[in-house]
Amino acid sequence: MPATPVAPLGLAIAGLGLAGSVMARAAIAHPGVELITAAEPDHDTRNAFARDRNVPTYASLVELCDDQRIDIVYIATPHQFHARHAELIAESGKHIILEKPMALTLAECDAIISAVERHNVHLIVGHTHGFDPAARTMARIVASGEMGALGMIAAWNYTNFLYRPRRPEELDTAQGGGILFNQVPHQIDMVRLIGGGRLRSVRAQATVLDPLRPTEGSAVAFLEFESGAAASLTYSGYDYFDSDELHFWISERGASKPPNQHGAARRALAGYDQAAEAGLRIARYAYGADPGPAPTHQPHFGLLVATCAKGEMRASADGLFIYDSNGKREMPLPKSFAGRSEVLDDMVAAIRTGKRPRQDARWGKANVEVMLALLQSARERREILLQHQVALEP
Ligand SMILES: NC(=O)c1ccc[n+]([C@@H]2O[C@H](COP(=O)([O-])OP(=O)(O)OC[C@H]3O[C@@H](n4cnc5c(N)ncnc54)[C@H](O)[C@@H]3O)[C@@H](O)[C@H]2O)c1
C-alpha cells in the first residue's frame, strides 16, 4: 500500500526583520513546513508579508498564540524579548525555533528551559552556523573517530558587522549589543558542536575600538574542552579586512559577493544619526526589502579549520576540504538554504519522532554561558571556569 502523504507542519514567524525575512525564504522552499502567518508590530512590514503570502497576520505575538494551525513558531524578535516570547509560545503548546543568542542571562535561559519542559514542547536555538553542512559534517567525522583525536579548532571571521545599520540597543553591550552577543555565538556553537560540547574554561580579550559605536567590535578567545582539545576564536567586525577574501568571495549566506568592498559599510553610514540609521535598517533588511543575490554555495562563517591526528578539515565553497596523508580532496555536501533548511529539518524530525533535538534549550544555555564568560574574562582579565556545559547527543 502506498504511504499516506504527511501534511507539512504549520510554521509562523515572530519578527519579520532581517532574520525573519531569511527564514521566510527558507521556509517557502522547505517541503516539511508550510509558512502560514507572522506576527510583526511594524505596520508596513506586516502588510508586505500579508500581501505576498495572501494570509492574515498578527500585530502581536499574544494573538498568534491562539492560532491552532501553528505547530512551530520561529522567534526572530530582538534578543531582549527572547525569554518572554519563548515562554509565551511554550505556554500555548507550540514548538519553538529561537534565534541566537537564546537569552541575555543564565536566569532567562533557566526560565525558558523550565517553560519548554513544563509544556512538553521542543525548542531549538538557531539558526547558528553550527547548522551549516560543513560544521555538521566536521562534527560527525570527529565523533566517528575516523580522523583520530581532535587537537584543535580555529574559527576566524573578519566582517563589516559593526557598520551594518543598527538599532540603538545593538550598539549597547548592556542590552545585548556588539559582537559578543551577536556574532561570536555562531563561533561558539560551531566549535562546541565539533568538539563534542563540553568546554572546561575560556580566556578572552575583547575591544571597543570605535568610540562612536561603543560596544565590543573585536574579540579573541581561547577555549579549552574537557577532553583537552582547544579552540581559538577570532572575530573583528570593523569593516577593514574581510575574511571572505580567503573564502572565494562568498558571503556568509553562500552568495557570490563583489570583492574588495573594504570600508564601504562605514562610508555608507556617514551622515546618518541614530534615528535615521534605525530607519535605514528597516528599509534595508525588513521583510519586503531586496534580499540580494540568492545563495548558490554553502553558508559559512569565516575560516573554520579542525585539526585531528590523521588530518585536517576546512569548510569549502560547496562542502568540506579534507587534508590528510593522501593529499587534499573536497567532499561536496548537499546544498543548504543559508543554514536555515537544517534548522527546519531538525525541528520537523524532532516533532515527527519525539526525539529531542541536539541544539536544544540546554545546549543553548551552555552557549550563553560561554558567551557571558567571554565578556567576564575580557573584563576581569582572567580564565573563567564553566559549569553548565552539556555534551552533544549522538
Ligand atoms: N542566525 C542569524 O544568522 C541571525 C541573523 C540576524 C539576526 N539574528 C537574530 O534574530 C533576532 C532578530 O534580529 P534581526 O537582525 O532580525 O532584527 P531586526 O531589527 O531586523 O528585526 C526584528 C523584528 O522584530 C520585530 N519585533 C519587535 N518586537 C516584536 C514583538 N513583540 N513581536 C513580534 N515582532 C517584534 C521588529 O519590528 C522587527 O521587524 C536577534 O536575536 C538576532 O540575534 C540571527
The tens digit of pLDDT for each residue in 128-175 reads 999 999 999 999 999 999 999 999 999 999 999 999 999 999 999 999
Residue of 37, 40, 79, 125 to test ligand 1 pocket, by largest number of atoms within 8 Å of CB: 40
Q: What was the pLDDT predicted at 271?
A: 87
CA of 60, closest atom in ligand 1: 32
The CATH code that applies to domain 130-338+369-385 is 3.30.360.10
Q: What was the pLDDT predicted at 5?
A: 72
Q: Residues 207, 219: contact at Cβ < 8 Å?
A: yes
Ligand 1 centre to CA of 53 (Å) is 20
Q: Position 295: which residue type?
A: P
Q: What was the pLDDT predicted at 236?
A: 98
- CA 187 to CA 245: how far, in whole Å? 19
Q: What is the pLDDT of residues 18-30, one digit of tens each?
A: 999 999 999 999 9
Residue of 82, 99, 235, 301 to test ligand 1 pocket, by largest number of atoms within 8 Å of CB: 99
Q: What pTM was computed for the model?
A: 0.97
Q: What is the pLDDT of residues 66-76, one digit of tens each?
A: 999 999 999 99
Ligand 1 centre to CA of 75 (Å) is 8
Ligand 1 centre to CA of 24 (Å) is 13
The model's confidence at residue 1, banded by pLDDT at 50, 70 and 90, is: low
Q: What was the pLDDT predicted at 393?
A: 85
Interhelix angle 361-380/184-195, rounded to 10 degrees, is: 120
Stated as kind and residue range, the H or E segment containing 69 is none
Residue of 77, 277, 282 to test ligand 1 pocket, by largest number of atoms within 8 Å of CB: 77
Ligand 1 centre to CA of 318 (Å) is 28
Residue 2 has pLDDT above 70, yes or no: no
Q: Which single residue is written with the C-alpha cell 569593516?
A: 239
The percent of residues above 90 in pLDDT, for the chain, comes to 94
Quickly name the fold that domain 9-129+340-359 has.
Answer: Rossmann fold (3.40.50)
So where are the chain's domains?
9-129+340-359, 130-338+369-385
Joined grid coordinates for residue 147: 580522523
**Average pLDDT over every residue of 251-274:** 93
**Average pLDDT over every residue of 266-275:** 91
Q: CA 317 → CA 20, 137, 139, 219, 228, distances in Å? A: 25, 14, 18, 25, 30
**In the predicted model, what is the mean pLDDT of the chain?**
96
Give the binding-site residues of ligand 1, using a 6 Å CB cut-off: 14-20, 39-42, 45, 61, 76-79, 81, 99-100, 127-128, 167, 182, 285-286
